[in-house]
Each structure stands twice: as structure tokens, then as C-alpha cells.
Amino acid sequence: MKKNLTYQYHHMGIPTTKPREDEKYSSTFKMYTTPGDNPFRIQWHRFEGGCPLHPLIQKVPHVGFKVESIDEAIKGQKILLEPYYPFEGFRVAMIEVESAPVEFVGTNLSEEEIWGIDKPGSMIYPED
């Protein structure tokens, strides 16, 4: 952690091989994700063969932190997922820390805007 940044817990992602009733498919990443609509925002991620994401992201649970500056948070770190916008107003990136993925979230959206509704035309769910 960098002393000049504030890290606020955002969510946890856990890889699984078990299909879940409420999972949603991303053709972009060839993965299924649950909505994380529980008190601790835990999401389950199930990956198909040919998923373009780094193997650590597919195999090891990750924690997500909201930060003021993703660029500062990833500076000098081993990057697993370059910064991108899965949907408008919401930027993410992932790094490796001691063989575990850590995700950073940069956004001014409210939690209701992030978790509450579908994101038509998003990069992660283009079929919406």
C-alpha cells in the first residue's frame, strides 16, 4: 500500500467452477459473474476455456479497493489487468501482490449506480 493513497474496501471476487443461479455472462472475458448483492459484496467468477484474463485472476480470490488514483496505485507494480472502463464512470485495474490479484476501482459513482442496474452497451457486457 502506498502511504499517499486511501484504500477503501469495495468487493471480493472468488473463482469457482460451480455454476450459480444468478450469474451473468460476459462474452468479452468468457466468464460468468454473480451480482455481489450481499452485505460484503462478494462475487463469484466462473471462467470458460479461452478466457483472456491472467491465470491468477482465474484461479486466486481477489480483493477490490476503491482508490482516488488508479494510475498512482499501479505505478511500479506488476500489472495483471491494465486500466480500463468496464462501463462509463467506472475504471478498474489489477496488480499482483505476493502471488495474489488485487483490484483497484476508480469511480465517483454511488454504490447504487455501480451495483444496482444493468449497464447497457458496457464493455464487459456488450449484449445488454
pTM of the entire predicted model: 0.93
Question: What count of other Cβ atoms lies within 10 Å of the Cβ of residue 83?
Answer: 15
Q: Side-chain half-sphere of 108: how many Cα atoms within 13 Å?
A: 0
Distance CA 10, CA 38 (A): 12
User: How far lies 9's CA from each of 41, 80, 82, 91, 122, in Å?
Assistant: 10, 19, 20, 15, 24
Burial of 75 (0-12, 13-18, 19+ CB in 10 A): exposed
In order of start, what are the domains of the chain with their CATH numbers?
8-115 (3.10.180.10)
Listed range (7-11, 27-31, 42-46, 84-88) with the worst mean pLDDT = 84-88
Percent of the chain scored above 70 by pLDDT? 98
Cell triple for 86? 468496464
71-121 confidence digits (pLDDT tens): 999 999 999 999 999 988 999 999 999 999 999 999 998 888 887 667 777
Distance CA 91, CA 64 (A): 12
pLDDT value at residue 118: 73
Q: Are strands 31-33 and 24-26 parallel, antiparallel or unpaired?
A: antiparallel
Cell triple for 76? 511500479
pLDDT value at residue 125: 82
Listed range (26-40, 53-67, 111-125) with the worst mean pLDDT = 111-125
Judged against a pLDDT cut of 80, whether residue 17 lies above it is answered with: yes
pLDDT value at residue 115: 77
Distance CA 5, CA 118 (A): 30
